[in-house]
Amino acid sequence: MKQRWMKLINEKPNYSEWVKVYTEKGKIFIIKLQRGGILQTHHGSLSHSDIIEAGYGKMVRFSSGSHAHILRPGIDDNSMKIKRLTQIVYPKDIGFILLKLDIKEGDYVLEAGLGSASMCGALSRYVGESGKVYTYEKREEFLKTSMSNLNKWNLLNRVVFHLQDVGEGFKESDYDAAFIDLPYPVPQLKYVREKLKFSGRLCVLCPTVNQCSQVIHEMNDLGFTQVEMWESIFRPFKTNPDRIRPVDMIYAHTAYLIFGQKISKETEEN
């Protein structure tokens, strides 16, 4: 075990590290530190070398005089700040999906519909070094953007990419869990179930209730149990401690989440 507990060290970021610059106005910049780099904002400029010199948790000043703090970006920042070509899965849903899919070290997870890799980033992080995410995406530009995003988070080596339509079936089998985020998920569910382990967990993300109805029908027919449907509403609050109240506008809806565990059909050999 690395030695800790001796004293609080004033840690400083290195070049090529990603940092979060959090301004006094609450704006967030996630940047990769580079020799000679300058962060240009409407608050003025800030050199990367000043960021390194200050260190984590420390205050820096833009050329305008307004200040900011240097923070480590986290998985929540990643998913809000990635390059997006698509609607992403939001942290509010990601956390719940991870738990309901029971994602853990060593899991082999199928993902159909990579999008911009917001979910893939979380899945590959939590399957650990011994796990793997097998992802299917038919649009090449989505695959490229996602690979770039995953590379930033050092998670590329945990993901196996398939540039193909899921209608052609999945190459691996015995998945511990599967996450489906496709425009028309129903026709693919039979292929997903086929390759999922018995008792393996499925999550299907559906924007509309009509789709939920179709997905649940199909899951019941194919052989899933403990079929659940959830939605979440998250409300951030304004944090003036003397005037606490929810913010004015929120996302009312991202997607409905359908879950189930694969069971054997009575007519099915095993």
In the region spanning residues 211 to 230, those forming contacts with a second copy, defined by CB under 8 A, are: 212-214, 216-217, 220, 225-230
d(CA 139, CA 152): 21
- Contact (CB, 8 A) for 63 and 39: no
**Angle at CA 152, nearest 5°, toward 12 and 128?**
95
CB-nearer residue toward a second copy: 14 or 99: 99
Query: Which window, 43-51, 135-143, 178-186, 255-263, contacts a second copy (CB under 8 A)?
Result: 255-263
> What minimum distance in Å lies between the beta carbon of 156 and a second copy?
16
- Contact (CB, 8 A) for 226 and 260: yes
Residue type, 88: I
Single out the residue of 44, 57, 167, 187 in contact with a second copy (rule: CB under 8 A): 57
In the stretch 133-172, what mask flags binding to a second copy with x, by CB under 8 A?
Answer: ---------------------------------------x
d(CA 200, CA 161): 21
CB-nearer residue toward a second copy: 63 or 225: 225
Single out the residue of 116, 118, 135, 261 in contact with a second copy (rule: CB under 8 A): 261
The reply to whether 243 sits near a second copy by the rule CB under 8 A is: yes
d(CA 40, CA 193): 49
d(CA 9, CA 5): 10
Single out the residue of 39, 98, 119, 150 in contact with a second copy (rule: CB under 8 A): 98
